[in-house]
Structure 1
């Protein structure tokens, strides 16, 4: 259990600022990079939907594009969260004592 290095209180909150920001930035970046995959996703979806005729091509193409964008966003979010967590753990004072208000990093006590 984490304790405050000054008052030894165990009433510690973690702030995770970099993790939150990294996740948001990663999601946007992943969705943007996933935009390149949208075309191939749309083509794959259209090919699968071709079995159902012209309407299937349209619906399959749209579904393929959406799935490609979502996969890019999810991958970007996961990467951003991992980078943000590393920054929180190693660079920022991620912990705050609720008793005395001290901010500190667990790894640098």
Structure 2
């Protein structure tokens, strides 16, 4: 089975797009980072290494310190797919992140985005 193209893309090549999407809607890079840290368990230092090393999405998620235990509360449609029904575990994690960034850009409060 062929791997999806995004799995081998450098996280650092997509990260600026997350920030841009958020900033266009009046949100901040800090909020994007908070979402990423919440989802993956990375801290700022670890995350900077990911960016500096041009780590791919597959490695980014496989080496994440701890996927947030509330990740199952992330539901809804992103890119035409219900995130809770995506079968490939890696693609599901990528879409979880996409969904959270989408919610940020749509003006949801951080409390709701982080499933507090």
Instruction: Using structure 1 for the length normalisation, give the TM-score.
Output: 0.24
Instruction: Using structure 2 for the length normalisation, give the TM-score.
Output: 0.23
- Structure number with bigger Rg: 1
Which structure ranks higher in relative contact order (CA pairs < 8 Å, sequence separation ≥ 6)? 1
Higher share of residues assigned helix: 1
